[in-house]
Amino acid sequence: MEMLSDLAKSLALSRPVKILQSSILTVPSVIGWMRPVILLPANLLTGLTTEQLKAILAHELAHIRRWDYWLTCFRRWLRR
C-alpha cells in the first residue's frame, strides 16, 4: 500500500485508489472512476519482484490518471 501511495503521489492523483485481489481475473485491471480499484490476479502476486509489482501498479495508475475508463465507455457507445 505504501508503494501504491508513493506512485499515486508521483502521478499527482488526488483520488484514493484501492488494491484488491481477484481469483477470477488473469490480468491486472482497473474498475471504477470515482473510487478506482486496481484488481490484481491472486496468482500474480506470488513470484513477482518488488520492481515488477511497482511497474504493474504504475501502469494501472496511469490508466486512472488518463481517465481511460471514460474513453472505454465512449468507444463502447460508438460501437452501438
pLDDT tens sequence across 5-28: 888 888 888 888 999 999 999 999
Q: How many domains does the chain have?
A: 1
Selection from 61, 19, 55, 58 nearest residue 40 by Cα: 19
| H-run or E-run covering 14 | none
The domain of 36 spans 2-78
CATH of the domain at 51: 3.30.2010.10
The whole-model pTM stands at 0.79
pLDDT exceeding 90 applies to what percent of the chain?
35
Task: Give 65: exposed, middle or buried? Use CB within 10 Å, 0-12, 13-18, 19+.
Answer: middle
pLDDT tens sequence across 50-66: 899 999 999 999 888 88
pLDDT for position 14: 82
